[in-house]
Amino acid sequence: MIDIAEHPNETYIPLKSIAARQGISEKYLESILKILVQEHLLEGMRGKGGGYRLTMPPSEYTIGRILRLTETSLEPVGCIESGSTSCPKASECRTIGMWMKLGELVNDYLDSITLADLLAQ
């Protein structure tokens, strides 16, 4: 997303160019970009002159939203992940509150940072 946001004057940024600059495989990158297109964070165009571009100004993208879409989980431990089955030891776990608070802090922090903030660094 940062790579695409760094090239605002180019209409569409080719997948091949992004993959080369970031040093990741085109196939892996395509799987990530597909999710972001489905969620309307990016617009994709196939063919000559095609590629990807942002659908909004960088200030409207939070890093938390991007990561929650593209990563398996942001929670520090699996037992508090959304959709996970309750841990059989949750009622007696002395650390679950700590993990929940840490997860909340991480999510709040990532939601406070925008793509524009990262571009300004």
**Burial of residue 52, with CB atoms counted within 10 A of its CB: 0-12 exposed, 13-18 middle, 19 or more buried:** buried
For residues 87 and 109, state if they share a domain. yes
Beta bridge partners of 54: 42
Overall pTM surpassing 0.85 (yes/no) = yes
Q: What is the largest CA-CA distance in the chain?
A: 59
| Domain span including residue 49 | 1-55
For residues 10 and 47, state if they share a domain. yes
CA angle 73, 74, 80 (to 5 degrees): 80
| Model confidence band, residue 29 (pLDDT cutoffs 50, 70, 90) | very high
For residues 51 and 91, state if they share a domain. no
pLDDT at 61: 98
Q: Tell me the angle at which helices 26-38 and 63-70 cross, rounded to the nearest 10 degrees.
A: 120
CA angle 10, 11, 13 (to 5 degrees): 70
- Residue 84 in contact with residue 78, Cβ under 8 Å? yes
| Model confidence band, residue 109 (pLDDT cutoffs 50, 70, 90) | very high
pLDDT at 85: 65
